[in-house]
Structure formats: structure tokens, C-alpha cells
Amino acid sequence: MQNKTTLLSNMELIDMDKKHLWHHITNHSKFQHEDPQIIVEGKGCIIKDIHGKEYIDASSGGVWAVNVGYGRKTIADSVSEQLVKLGFFAPTVGNPASIRLAQKVISILPDFQKVFYSNTGSEANEKAFKMVRQYFRLKYKNKDKYKIVSRLRDYHGSTFAALSATGQPERKLGFEPLVPGFLEMSPCYCYRCPYNKKYPDCNIDCALELENIIKKEGEDTVGAIIVEPITSGGGILVPPKEYFKVLQEICDKYEVLMMMDEVVNGFGRTGKMFGHYHFDVKPDIVTIAKGFTSGYVPLSAFVAKQFLFDQFITDEADKMGYFRDISTFPGSAAMSAGALENINIIERENLVENSEKMGNYLLSNMKEFESFEIVGEVRGKGLLIGIEFVEDKKTKLPAKETIISEIITEINKQGVLVGKMTRSMINQNNVIFIAPPLIITKEEADKIIASIRIAIEKANTM
């Protein structure tokens, strides 16, 4: 009787999902002939669907978020206790949990001094853009450094300004006109160099492009550049070590603020606490989300240096000189308590070190996949790895999305979930992503490697 009741309940849930739930970035026409996937439980790196099938989650919640893995009771307890004590008050005032969390964030980002909370990565970037524009308008009366440069392939969010900064054309189609004042430069993509050169004999021209843009637009109009340390959703692009040094020199020369989008890279994902720690760069602003809470609660932030904050300290009679931004929920006590315990877990269990160790293990083993004709390149840092598929190794013609879907389906059949480029680049959504929780074991890594190998072998013979 219990099994029948469970089965009936599952059927009802599936039916209600089809009737009422609008899934994100999903074409619902497929649900005419197949059921939506419903996840009901997670523990460690393992998730279970509504039918009881278990998977190793090599996508950290589908969007690189669940860094500490599933089922963390201490996070749940921290949130629960704080909800009873004080769940919410507007972020116009402080609370002990948000204050302690801010102090913890600054302790792991010691070059920074101020934390401004938001809800999502998109919102963190959106508010940082607003802050940058207001900062320069307060600082200068005779010039307007409102323009912000971003890179093709980098993802910065789905709200209008964040989408305007996102360098993924398919994400923008249908939503135009977007926000003015955003400029785009080439990606750092050595496998498909936009200048048809080869590293290290390339002069890092993709970085020098920033100076050309500033000169063309006018140095009195360009205020900031936003970049991901390692491009995530645009294909897992790891720049050479000199890249950010060149960008930094240009930014310093023209008083262009360096904004580092650590929403995906941050909190151990790349084998260091933050992605930009791999490079010689000193950003002025860092945005954080995802691994900030491991998806247990919605919370993000931009983290800024003192000189930015100081520009907003004005006479109390000045009604317009302070940063005039607010949202309802950022920095609520309960969310802050959850985020703080999440960071404590990362530190207590040495998860950054495990990310580096297991990332090296996965990458070295997956590099062997480059012997297959359909694999162009395997690349990444830590537990942020991409496999790029091609139709032809010599021409590097991107593999069709139908091939990528078949590979993903086969990996799923093997009991592993991975991610993929989705509605990002026109005719170039040809990279799958491997980004498991930072707690992953060697046994789980071996299962991921074996499952992907089986899928590639099948696709390679088609």
C-alpha cells in the first residue's frame, strides 16, 4: 500500500509540475513526450530523483553552487536558530549575523574593507554597476565615466544591466534594447584565439584590446571593466598568467576600476579560495554568490575597497550623495547565519585544498579524452573543468548541439549529472562542464571519469 501511495504521489507531482511550474531556461515542448526531472533529496555529492534513481552531481546543483555538498545539518541549524531569534529586518540596519559574516568575508578577502549584500549574482553585479556610475559622478563634475567594458563569452547575470554586460549573444536575443553604456571586448580564448595567434607568441593582444577600446570611446567615459577570472558558462576559458597583469596595467593607467565576478569561481571552486588568486591582479570590486552559501540560502554581495566607500561619505544634509540603493532581503540575519556556517565548513574541512587536489586528478585523467576525434580540448582549474567537442580536430568546427545532448543523456544514464553550455553562443554551445561539490572523493571522481568516457566512446563511433 505504501508503494502505491508513493507512486500515486509521484504521478501527481509530475502532473502538477507540468501544469503549474515554469522551469528556468527550459523548452517545455519536450514535456509533451517526457516527464520533467524532479529532484527530491541530496546527501554529500549524491542526489536522488523522484523515481529513486541516484546520481553523482558533477554540476553542484546544476549551476556550480553547492560547494559543500548536500545535507549539511549545521547550516540548516544555523538558519533555523536565527529564524527563531530574528529572521529579518531591512538592510538599512545591521544585525549580529550579517556583521559577523561581513567580517568573515573581509578576512578571506583582506585587500577589501566593505561588504554590500544582495540576493543573487545578477543582483550583486547590477548593484556594483550602479555604485560605479554613482562613484564617478560624485568624484568628477566635468566627466562622466559611466561606460563598463566586459568580455565576449563571460556571463554576469540575467537582470537587464547584468545581461547587458554578459557576452553571450543567445542570452540577449529577444530582450533588446538592453542598457546603454556597456562595451564588449574579445575573450581570452587560446584554443580559438580571436587574433589567430598562439600563446606565448601573441603579445596577449586580447588584453591589449582594452586600451584600444578606452582610446576609441574616450578615457573620460570608461569607468570599469568586469571579468570572470576563469570564464565559466562561456566555455571554461583559463587565461595565461600574464593576461590579468596586462589588464591591470591598463586599468591603472586610465583610472578604470577592475571588477572581478567571482560568482562561479569563488569559495574554492578553482582550487583557490577565489579565482583571481591564481593571477597577478588586484581588483577594486569583487562580486560573490553561489558558493557563498552553497545554495542553502539566497545571498550575494559586492565587496569593495575603502576608497570607493569613502566617496559616498558626505554631509548629512546631502540627500543624494550616499549610495541610494536598497532591496528587501539582502543580509537578513537568517541568510547571513547560513552563509557564515558555509564558509566555516569550507575552512574547517580544507575544501579548497581538496578542490585543487581532486581537480588536478580529474583534469589529468580527462586530458586523455583529447585522443578522441570529437574532443577538441579539455581545460580548467580546480573543480571547474570543461570539455570542448568538435566535428573536426583540424578545423575545430564546433560539434552540433544534438551531439552534445546525446553525450549528456548517456552520462545521465550512467548515473552522473554534468552541465553544458545552454543558449550562450550562436552555433557554439559545444562544451560540457564538470564541477562537482568540493567534497568529492576519488571514488566519485573515478565514476565521473568512467561515465564520461563511455559517453564519448559511443559518440565518437557515430
- The region of weakest confidence among 22-26, 143-147, 182-186, 249-253 is 22-26
In this prediction, residue 6 carries a pLDDT of: 58
Mean model confidence pLDDT for the chain: 95
**Can you give the pLDDT at residue 259?**
99
Is it the case that residue 207 has pLDDT exceeding 70? Answer: yes
Residue that finishes a domain, picked among 289, 314, 348: 348
Mean pLDDT of 215-236: 97
Claim to verify: residue 434 and residue 403 sit in the same structural domain: yes
Confidence (pTM) = 0.94
Alpha carbons 437 and 291: distance in angstroms, whole number: 10
Our measurement of the distance from residue 344's CA atom to the centroid of its chain's CA atoms, rounded to an integer in Å, reads 21
Same domain flag for 172 and 297: yes
Length of the chain: 462
Domain boundary among 287, 318, 348: 348
Same domain membership, residue 124 and residue 203 = yes
For the chain, count helices (H), then strands (E). Answer: 13, 16
Which CATH number is 250's domain given? Answer: 3.40.640.10
Q: Is residue 42 part of a domain?
A: yes
pLDDT tens-digit readout, 281-310: 999 999 999 999 999 999 999 999 999 999
Question: Residue 286 sits in which domain range?
Answer: 73-348
Domains contained in the chain, number: 2
Residue 58 lies in a domain: yes
Give residue 448's pLDDT band: very low, low, confident or very high (50, 70, 90): very high
- Say whether pLDDT at 83 is over 60: yes
Same domain, residue pair 162 and 262: yes
CB atoms near residue 22 (< 10 Å)? 6
Residue type, 166: T
**Percentage of residues of the chain with pLDDT beyond 70:** 98
Can you give the CATH number for the domain in which 430 is found? 3.90.1150.10
pLDDT for the residue 2: 46
- Is residue 26 in a domain? no
409 vs 427: CA distance, rounded Å:
20
Given a contact cutoff of 8 angstroms between Cβ atoms, the answer to whether 270 and 355 are in contact is yes
Q: Indicate whether 1 pLDDT > 90.
A: no
**CA atoms within a 13 Å half-sphere pointing along the CA-CB vector of 142:** 0
d(CA 355, CA 270): 7
Contact 121, 196 (CB under 8 A): no
130 & 237 share domain: yes
User: What burial class does residue 435 get, using C-beta atoms within 10 Å of its C-beta: 0-12 exposed, 13-18 middle, 19+ buried?
Assistant: buried
Percent of the residues in the chain that have a pLDDT greater than 90, as a whole number:
88
344: pLDDT strictly greater than 90: yes
Residue 136 has pLDDT above 80, yes or no: yes
Per-residue model confidence (pLDDT) at position 280: 87
Do 268 and 130 fall into the same domain?
yes
One domain for residues 311 and 372: no
Classify residue 341: in a domain, yes or no. yes
235 and 160, same domain (yes or no): yes
Residue 30 lies in a domain: no
- Asked if the bond preceding 177 is cis, omega within 30° of 0, the reply is yes
Give residue 402's pLDDT band: very low, low, confident or very high (50, 70, 90).
very high
**Structural domain contains residue 10:** no
